[in-house]
Amino acid sequence: MSFDVTRFCVALTSAMADAVVYSDAAGKIQFWNQGAERVFGFTQSEAMGQSLDIIIPENLRQRHWTGYDQTMRTGKTRYGAGDMLAVPALRKDGQRISIEFTITPFHDETGALAGIAAVIRDVTARFEEMKRLRQELRALRAVAKTEG
């Protein structure tokens, strides 16, 4: 029995708990795994071929597309291999969530940037907990300052 790397990679990324999303140079979704369905609420059939706008909050779209287009044009990104990005995102139901992700650029046979894959994790619960702890710490510091 031979090992089929392509089949293995597709099976692995399809079944991952983390969202795996690949978008082409135009920002159209070309791969959407089960994890992406869980995180964002869109089925694969709903997401395929759609713009990444379906998961980007409206107030962040212009900034996102400026960076995305520059990356596609130049082939360079300011995010190095393994850099964790943290941003707000949207679910199908309109709920705003906090995500962290890494990106991997993909080049075509000529070396031009063909698209970008992202491995995404919903960190909303952790983000909210950190926000709550920061607020509590500020309140405690304010009390200590008035008592001190």
All structural domains of the chain with their residue ranges: 5-123
pLDDT of residue 148: 67
CATH topology of domain 5-123: Beta-Lactamase (3.30.450)
Mean pLDDT of the chain: 89
pLDDT of residue 147: 78
The answer to whether 28 and 51 have CB atoms below 8 angstroms apart is yes
pLDDT in tens, 79-95: 766 778 899 999 999 99
Confidence label for 43 from pLDDT (cuts 50, 70 and 90): very high
Proportion of the chain in helix, strand, coil states, percent, rounded to 5:
45, 25, 30
Question: Which distant-in-sequence residues (6+ apart) come within 8 Å of 19 by Cβ?
Answer: 33, 35, 36, 38, 39, 40, 99, 101, 118, 119, 120, 121, 122
Q: Please state whether the predicted TM-score (pTM) of the whole model is above 0.75.
A: yes
First to last CA, the chain: 74
